[in-house]
Structure 1
Amino acid sequence: MATVLEKIADHIVSRTSFSPLAMARAQEAVIDTIGCMLAGAADQAPQAVARAFSGQIGANGPPAILRGGRASPSVAALINGTAAHCLDFDDNFHPARAHASAVLVPALLSIATADAAISGRQFLHAYLAGLEAQAAVGFGVNPSHYNRGWHGTSTVGCIGTAAGVAILLGLNATEIAQAMSIATSSAAGPKGQFGTPTKPLHAGMAARNAVEAALLAQAGMSGRLDILERPQGFLDLFGGEACAGWQALSMGDSHIIETHGLVTKLHPCCASTHRAIDAARDLQMEYDFCLDDVLSIETNLGRSAVDNLAYPDPVDEMQARFSMQYCLATALYQGNLSLSDFTCAAIFRPEIRLHMPKISMSAYHAAQEHGIERLPHHVTIDLRDGRRLKTERLYATGSVAVPLTAAERGSKFADCLRWAGLRAEKTHEAFLNFEDAASLKEMLNSFERSTAP
């Protein structure tokens, strides 16, 4: 009987073509992630990683580190992955409970920027294979795995991304399964690190570990192919109390990006805040009030979301990204959130701090969440004039249910480039030809030349 890893590998190898919808959504995700990576490159976390491995970075070599330098595939994936996730502006992928693209895109770029023969279409095929593998691994352990405290980006993301890298390297089904098995031994990352620079490092480590696992499999390294389901394997050790396993796993004709999609972030902060922010803004736009009119705001979220938002009184910009009080107060005060709201100066603005104590959080009971894939986040606002306003959001803006417009995607990409200090004229439009690029390496080289300060 085939193991879970063998079933996943056989399936992604057998899927040799993708629908126009799947390809379009994959391209959107890749472009969005590159924008986030460029914006984050100068942040303290990727800069610390670059300093740590400065002896392995030079002007020449195959894989590129976006914003400067070349290194081994491992180091390039580590730095670019950390940069992709450090501003928490990168997408979310619910089936894996992971920032899927922040691991996949840097890992795949570390291979593609070293090989001029890899096309945009090949890259997107590998991306879609890795995304489907992440979803399949996550199926057996989530949400119990995530709720237990494991950061799915660096656990499930690492294992699934190894499959995507293996596809890009041209490995066969057995080698892909081996790459995923090897990656399982590198899967790690506690959510207790949220709000610190090590949280984005999780994405970098997952990208690096996935690349190394695929290269090791290519070189003949092997592990147990039943490592997900066997005793003392991934499910046994990482699954948590309510994991389902893979007995009911079914990967059909429709790709997961078509049925579930990703959530492209509108706000540069933890996704656990987004549905409450969107709900509160819905009320604000309908009833036309400002924060001075508010007595109190109650938010009711999923348990894992409350656990993620551990900083009611943030002391730095990283903690602020994981503070419902700061993010929601800022969004209601000025009508939106931007990258500029997450600097040391911005987070101590008295006009924001004044209103943060008005905001409280509560969580669903475990029994309410049991067996339910998604519950809405609720917001209740009491105004000084006596009105009580209530609403809920099942999906955040940027999800498949409430997608960003093409203009919003372009604006976000341009904002990321401006934050990075790069010239932003017509860059998003140029990337819309990503799928058709004959050489992804040359396309990215041309992009770097055109955006140089």
Structure 2
Amino acid sequence: MRGRSGCFGNPKPTNPKLVNRRKKGDVMAISATTSLAEFISNVRELPAVVCERAKLHIADTLACIYAGSASRAAALAKQISAREDECARIIVPGLGRWNDPALAALLTGVCAHADDFDDTSEHSMNGHPSAPIVSALIPTACMLGASGTDVVRAYAVGVEVACKLGVAVGPAHTSRGWHTMSTLGTLGAAAAAANLRGLDAVQTQHAVGIACSFAGGLLGNTGTMTKALHCGRAAHGGYLAAALAEQGFTAGADILEAEAGFIDALTDRSVDRIDLPGLGGDWELLRPGLAVKLYPCCSCTHLAIDGAIEIKGRHTFDPSSIERITCSVREECTHYLRFPNPRNGIEAKFSMTYTVAVALTRGKVTLEDFETTALDREDVAVLVPKVRMVACFDENEVGSIEVVLKDGQRFATRRAAPHGSPDDPPEWDDIIGKLRQSVARGTSCVPQQLEEFFVAIRGMDKLSKFVDLLETYL
């Protein structure tokens, strides 16, 4: 591993060992795979504003991991990863120490997405970038003794790669049924791990190629534990891709644009031209940015939840007096919100009817609302069939919610963007609140220790060893 202390400025000259060049007329053009590998290996330092945003999203993802460590999915995954060892150096937050870093990445990834509480890239990746990336970085950092600065930088690189590739593959990738967290997330995790390991451009090119063959995961498994496993497999694949490439393992040098390569196999895009505009210049963490989830359920429900909570706070009425509730959503959201009558906590996360009923009844939506026993609450259950979801093609109507009472009173509101999104960005207080809820669920809290943990999280880039942050709560 080589040290990294400079700044990301002018890129290095193209490495002559990078084998793929494509002729365009008289000009020899660098392939997209080569260009991506050079970017990943060249980044040394982040702009300060990118660093601050990266720290917030890493902290948010840690909250998701701690919360998910108490999930049924994590408990089952732990059984087949039974290598826990109190003397080992690989930490899975909330679940202790493990001997095998690759399995630790898988287990961490399952925890990170078990509650569907992790951030999203709505405009570029159309999925969840941070969970697989952070889950691959934690065991890598434990193995290397990497600094907080190095982890923050590698994380930003991973997000940049996953999201820029999201633009390149286009919406047809998702419409074909691919889950971007387990396809693009695998490549983002590999990019982050390669950067943290200090791989050169040639090694990184192979890491990208290996990761492309690990990519997979079907949206048909939405509403099941396997959706969380997509995150675990992406982290596992990303970790292994970088580790294997460091040892000299090889892969296709132009795998992104090759015939039967990533773009050709998984999208409807032409491989003649693959654009990665603004790579490392217009950082995805800033523009368009990622959305932090303040509710542990599908992001398609969040506008309606915000609106329901607003209506409940502004008006005095008994939820039992409600006649009907109508929520307007983007048409594509109807494909995710497929459980009008959820049978368990996982399905409830993808249920507009249930989440809105909870918001109108309780004035909040928290982790405990998705415990299976919570679905039996009578006051919520009676509202569920009264919620109607309407697919809307007019962007000016998306996010509206109307509550009609039995006496004819009507209360309505519309939210253009959910709190936590780039248009209504979260503050550190939001993240600390989420961490407080999540750590309490996944560990035994000591209040003073918890406050010290929050201070350390905000200063993670100052840590000589990132793993010191995780030592507080195993």
Q: Do both proteins adopt the same fold according to a TM-score greater than 0.5, normalized to the shorter chain?
A: yes
User: How far is 1:393 from its partner?
Assistant: 3.1
Alignment RMSD: 2.4
Partner of 1:405: 427
CA–CA distance in 2 between the matches of 1:42 and 1:405? 26
Partner of 2:5: none
Partner of 1:417: 439
Q: Following superposition of structure 1 onto structure 2, how do residues 271-282 of structure 1 map, counting pairs within 5 Å?
A: 271-282=299-310
1:396 counterpart = 2:418: yes
Partner deviation per Cα, 1:424-445 (whole Å, 9 max, x = no partner) = 4302223112110011123322
* Structure 1 moving runs of 4+ over 6 Å: 241-245
1:259 counterpart = 2:287: yes
User: How far is 1:131 from its partner?
Assistant: 0.5
Distance 1:232 1:195, change over 3 A: same
Partner deviation per Cα, 1:109-164 (whole Å, 9 max, x = no partner) = 01111232x11000000000001000121111232212332111111100121011
Partner of 2:105: 77
Distance 1:439 1:320, change over 3 A: same
Partner of 2:132: 103
Partner of 2:460: 434
Report the residue type matching 1:115 in the other structure: L
CA–CA distance in 2 between the matches of 1:38 and 1:248? 34
Partner deviation per Cα, 1:73-95 (whole Å, 9 max, x = no partner) = 21010001101110111111222
Distance 1:330 1:245, change over 3 A: farther
Choose 436-445 or 81-90, whichever is displaced more: 436-445
Structure of greater Rg? 2
> Is 1:376–1:395's contact at 8 Å kept on the other side of the alignment?
no
> Is 1:144–1:243's contact at 8 Å kept on the other side of the alignment?
no
Distance 1:389 1:69, change over 3 A: same
CA–CA distance in 1 between the matches of 2:272 and 2:410? 41
Partner deviation per Cα, 1:235-269 (whole Å, 9 max, x = no partner) = 22222589997336332623110112211111011
> Is 1:158–1:183's contact at 8 Å kept on the other side of the alignment?
yes
> Is 2:313–2:363's contact at 8 Å kept on the other side of the alignment?
no
Is the partner of 1:154 in helix, strand or coil? Answer: helix
Determine which of 346, 370, 374 is the counterpart of 1:318: 346
Report the residue type matching 1:353 in the other structure: A
Is the partner of 1:360 in helix, strand or coil? Answer: strand
User: How far is 1:283 from its partner?
Assistant: 3.8
Is the partner of 1:64 in helix, strand or coil? Answer: strand
Partner of 1:91: 119
Partner deviation per Cα, 1:170-203 (whole Å, 9 max, x = no partner) = 0012222221111111111111111111111110
Partner of 1:196: 224
Is the partner of 2:62 in helix, strand or coil? Answer: helix
> Is 2:214–2:237's contact at 8 Å kept on the other side of the alignment?
yes
CA–CA distance in 1 between the matches of 2:300 and 2:138? 28
Report the residue type matching 1:305 in the other structure: C
1:17 counterpart = 2:45: yes
1:134 counterpart = 2:162: yes
Partner of 1:300: 328
Partner deviation per Cα, 1:6-41 (whole Å, 9 max, x = no partner) = 222223334432222211111111111112211211
Is the partner of 2:180 in helix, strand or coil? Answer: coil
Is the partner of 1:155 in helix, strand or coil? Answer: helix
Partner of 2:181: 153
CA–CA distance in 2 between the matches of 1:263 and 1:292? 33
Output the TM-score relative to the length of structure 1.
0.91
CA–CA distance in 1 between the matches of 2:392 and 2:266? 23
Partner of 1:378: 400
Is the partner of 2:328 in helix, strand or coil? Answer: strand
Report the residue type matching 1:254 in the other structure: D
Choose 215-224 or 244-253, whichever is displaced more: 244-253
Distance 1:32 1:247, change over 3 A: closer
Structure 2 unaligned segments of length 5 or more: list them. Answer: 1-28
1:59 counterpart = 2:81: no
Report the residue type matching 1:275 in the other structure: L
CA–CA distance in 1 between the matches of 2:391 and 2:405? 23
Partner of 2:367: 339
Report the residue type matching 2:176 in the other structure: R
> Is 2:456–2:469's contact at 8 Å kept on the other side of the alignment?
no
Output the TM-score relative to the length of structure 2.
0.87
Structure 1 unaligned segments of length 5 or more: list them. Answer: none
> Is 2:70–2:441's contact at 8 Å kept on the other side of the alignment?
no
Is the partner of 2:144 in helix, strand or coil? Answer: coil
Identity of aligned residues (%): 30
Partner deviation per Cα, 1:279-324 (whole Å, 9 max, x = no partner) = 3333444455553343222223223321111111111111111111
> Is 2:160–2:280's contact at 8 Å kept on the other side of the alignment?
no
CA–CA distance in 2 between the matches of 1:344 and 1:334? 17
1:216 counterpart = 2:244: yes
Q: Following superposition of structure 1 onto structure 2, how do residues 33-52 of structure 1 map, counting pairs within 5 Å?
A: 33-52=61-80
Partner of 1:124: 152
Partner deviation per Cα, 1:366-408 (whole Å, 9 max, x = no partner) = xx79xxxx99433333333435554433322111221223322
CA–CA distance in 2 between the matches of 1:389 and 1:397? 20
Choose 381-390 or 129-138, whichever is displaced more: 381-390
Is the partner of 1:382 in helix, strand or coil? Answer: strand
CA–CA distance in 2 between the matches of 1:244 and 1:160? 23
Aligned residues: 440
CA–CA distance in 2 between the matches of 1:110 and 1:421? 19
Partner of 2:11: none
Report the residue type matching 2:460 in the other structure: F
Partner of 2:10: none
